[in-house]
Structure 1
Amino acid sequence: MTVSLAWIILLGLFSDYLFRKLRLPGLIGMLLTGMLMGPYAFNMIDPALMTLSSDFRMTALIVILLRAGLATRKDTLNRIGKTVALTGIVPGLFEGLVIMLIAPYFLNIGYLESAILGFIIAAVSPAVIVPMMVSLIESKKGDRKGIPTLLLASSSLDNVSAVVIFSGLIGIYEGKSRNILIKLAEIPFSIVSGIILGILIGFILYRVFLKYNPRATKMGMIVIGAAILLTWFENALKPFVFVSSISGVIAIGFILLEKSEPIAHKVSQKLGKIWVFAEILLFVLIGAQVNVSVALDAGIAGALIIFFGLIARSLGVYLSLMHTELDNKEKVFCIVSCIPKASVQAAVGAVPLAIGIKSGETMLAIAVLSILFTAPLGVIAMNALGEKVLQK
């Protein structure tokens, strides 16, 4: 396993360097490296490491979510709160519902199966979007209108909404749940409960740091450990209630910044250094989950479903931003920033197949294709437009 880890680090760094030299986002190079190293290509990653892949990916995601919280200011959130709610819910609903309506004609499947597919595809990837937005916040690009904060917060909300609806639809399919409205009611509850837990943990950490004044490195490690425990708490409560650890982890960083900027900056600097390794691990292991041959099985029908879903999502983003101070170019940037799919599709794409849905293999193929199609496209578009459109 250690040899596999060494290859991931070395090849991940090399691909990042190579793609940056080609003036492309290094993230794409790391995703491609993962695809080549994974079990569906050259099989260079130890099966034991692949077994632990989801835990490693979650830990890496926690690092960037903490950095996002540590870069999120209260006054900015107060300005954009309503827009965050709209952008975090409306586009995903548009995309999921449009796929639900059109998939039966392309795939000859029922509306329930189409809805399940729709909300597998509908989730955007905080793993892709949040690092880009944190980078923009740190460089002060788009900061005056709060655009990066808007997108990192709404991507987390979008993610939670899609996962809750998906789990509700799976419950209906398996006969465990009959009312999707009850599941929809869980969305605000899960987000609010996650935020409350995050605020509580953040406040406790602030008091501990204030009293004992540990070294910055230890503070960073303590914050990561506390955030990991929060995600464990989410899994422990899952049979009873859905708690959004994503919103909770961001809230931990947010509270530390609100209570003490010096502490927050120290922790953020340490997390920035840890992110160098965590980023490689996150994107190489996401890439390793992708089976290109399965994606090709989705064919033209799968590509068209993804395309029409993205059109619906884009319309949803535009409508959500209609009554804001953003100009048209900034709205286009927000639209392309809501394109990337990756982590959710890699995590739940195989669930329909695992529970015996007849079209499960097709759903998995389309989920994988959505990663291959949207992650590079979204990252390249964000990178290009972010430089040209967003002002300091």
Structure 2
Amino acid sequence: MLQSIGLIFIIGFIMQEVFQKVKIPSLVGFLWSGILLGPFGFNILDESLLNISGDLREVALLIILTQAGLSLELSDFKKMGHKAIFMSFVPACFEIFATFMVSQYLFGLSPVDALLLGAIIASASPAVIVPRMLKLMKEGYGIKKGIPQLILTGDSVDDVFNIVVFSSVLGLQGGGKLTFSQFLLIPVSILIGVAIGVGLGLIVSKLFERIKHRFEFKTLLLLSVGFLLMGVESYVESFFPFSALICVIAMGVTLLNMQPKDAVSVSNQLSKLWIGAQVLLFALVGASVNINYITFAGISAILMMIVVLCIRGVGILLSLSGSDFTLKEKLFCVLSGIPKATVQAAIGGIPLAMGIASGELILAISVIAILFTAPIGAMLLDTLYPKLLTDDRNTDRIIS
């Protein structure tokens, strides 16, 4: 197993350098390294590593969600007004609904599986979006109207919203039909998850007060609570509907409000962990995907992505209606919704790991979405931002 892990990191970093030279996000290189090393490539990864790949992906997902909770400043929504609120869920709802409809037609998925796929596909990639928006803020493009800040905030909450929907829809598995009572379980699961997460956040914040300046230990404590939540969920889900993922997010938000300095420090520690975790995440997703399903779903999946991204664009335009953004600025916001990667890699393999019948197809479509949209989205954002956004370096930097 150790040899396989070593190969993943070495080949992954080599692929990262190759892909970055041609302006393609490094995460695509990590994904391809897993495909090449995995069972449908050269088949040189240890089977024992592949057997625990689901658990390792859950660790990566927990890091993502904990970071998301620790960075969700509720005050940002007040500063940006209705734009930030609508951008955090309206585009996702449009894309989930479009995927729900189109995937049933193209792939014959059951309604529940189609809804599950919609929740997986609907997130834009933090790994692609975040560094580009930070670059725009540094260079001064669009900052007077707060466009990079809006996209950062909106996409962060958008990812959380989609993971919440995904986690809730998992509870509907076991039948292909959607009933009203099943839909009622979604808000119940969310409310219970938020309540438990807030309560645990208050407890952990008190523990943080007793742990002086030991940020590494605080990080491990927070992750350990997350691991316990995810373990407990599997035992109680049949009679107590709550989502561990929602708990983790709510716990992070609570900590940010109760212990803001500690929250920032822990988030920085998690960023360091993410450097290695993302290599394993994308490589193991690549190793898990069945190439035969990619071949089967390829053209149809790309066609579906084009359709649902257009529908998402409509949702973005509606979210920005009434704002002072120009048409070019709105178009840039639409482009920011194209790249898929991080969330799809983190949760795209969960249905397969749970033994869901369409799990392999869902994972294959998730991988195709990454391979198709991440390079195109990154290239469009990098190429067009000087043409679509105003250079505000010589103006007052005020968020509208």
Query: Does TM, scored on the shorter chain, surpass 0.5?
Result: yes
Q: Supply the distance in 1 between the matched residues of 2:182 and 2:320 (Cα, whole angstroms).
A: 26
Which residue does the alignment assign to 1:237?
236
**CA offsets, 1:5-59, max 9 Å, x none?**
1111222222223323333221111111111122211122211111111211121
Out of 132, 146, 150, the residue aligned to residue 154 of structure 2 is 150
> 1:117-149 CA deviation, whole Å, 9 max, x = no partner?
532432246997234455468668378453212
Contact 1:71-1:134 at 8 Å conserved across structures: no
118-127 or 50-59, which deviates more: 118-127
- Kindly state the Cα deviation for residue 3 of structure 1 after the two structures are TM-superposed: 0.9
Size of the aligned set, in residue pairs, is 379
Aligned to 2:6: 6
1:129 corresponds, among 116, 125, 129, to 125
Q: Is the 8 A contact 2:68 2:160 kept in 1?
A: no
Correspondence 1:228 to 2:227 = yes
User: In structure 2, how many angstroms separate the alpha carbons of the residues matched to 1:103 and 1:274?
Assistant: 35
Letter in 2 for 1:195: V
What are the residue-to-residue correspondences of 1:13-162 with 2, within 5 Å?
13-79=13-79, 86-87=86-87, 89-99=89-99, 101-102=101-102, 106=106, 109=108, 113=109, 115-116=111-112, 118-124=114-120, 129-132=125-128, 135=131, 141=137, 144=146, 145-162=149-166
Q: Give the Cα–Cα distance (whole angstroms) in 2 for the partners of residues 223 and 137 of structure 1.
A: 28
Deviation digits for residues 293-349 of structure 1 (CA, Å, limit 9, x no counterpart): 321112544433333233223323332333455554454444344442623333326
- Structure 2 counterpart of 1:347, one-letter code: I
The residue aligned with 2:312 is: 313
Amino acid at match of 1:151: D
Q: Which residue does the alignment assign to 1:285?
A: 284
Q: Residues 124 and 159 of structure 2 are in contact (CA less than 8 Å); yes or no, is this contact kept in structure 1?
A: no
Distance 1:243 1:267 in 2: 25
CA RMSD of aligned residues (A): 3.6
User: Which residue of structure 2 aligns with residue 213 of structure 1?
Assistant: 212
**In 1, Cα distance between equivalents of 2:329 and 2:23:** 22
Match of residue 345, structure 1, among 342, 345, 348: 348
Taking the aligned partners of 1:219 and 1:70, their CA distance within structure 2 comes to 13
Which runs of 5 or more residues in structure 1 are unaligned? Answer: none
**Aligned-pair CA distance for 1:268:** 2.3
- In structure 2, relative to structure 1, the CA distance for the partners of 1:224 and 1:361 (3 Å cut) is closer
CA contact (8 A) 1:227 1:249 kept: yes
Contact in 2 for aligned 1:85/1:154 (Cα 8 Å): no
**CA, structure 1 residues 292+337, in 2 after alignment: closer, same or farther (shift >3 Å)?**
farther
CA deviations on 1:158-201 (whole Å, 9 max, x unpaired) are 23324534653x4442xxx661x333333333333333333222
- Other structure's SS at 1:6 match: helix
1:4/1:45 contact within 8 Å kept: yes
Unaligned runs of 5+ in 2: none
Report the TM-score, using the length of structure 1 for normalisation: 0.80
SS at match of 1:146: helix
Amino acid of the residue matched to residue 288 of structure 2? Q
Residues 120, 367 of structure 1: 8 Å contact kept: no
Q: Structure 1 residue 85: deviation in Å?
A: 6.1
2:154 partner amino acid: L
Give the secondary structure class of the aligned counterpart of 1:45. coil
Q: How does 1:190-201 map to 2 (within 5 A)?
A: 190-201=189-200
Note if contact 1:83-1:321 (Cα within 8 Å) is conserved in structure 2: yes
Letter in 1 for 2:42: F
Q: Report the alpha carbon displacement of residue 86 of structure 1 after superposing the two structures with TM.
A: 4.5
Amino acid at match of 2:269: K
Matched AA of 1:345: G
**Contact 2:289/2:363, CA 8 A, preserved across alignment:** no
Percent same amino acid at aligned positions?
29
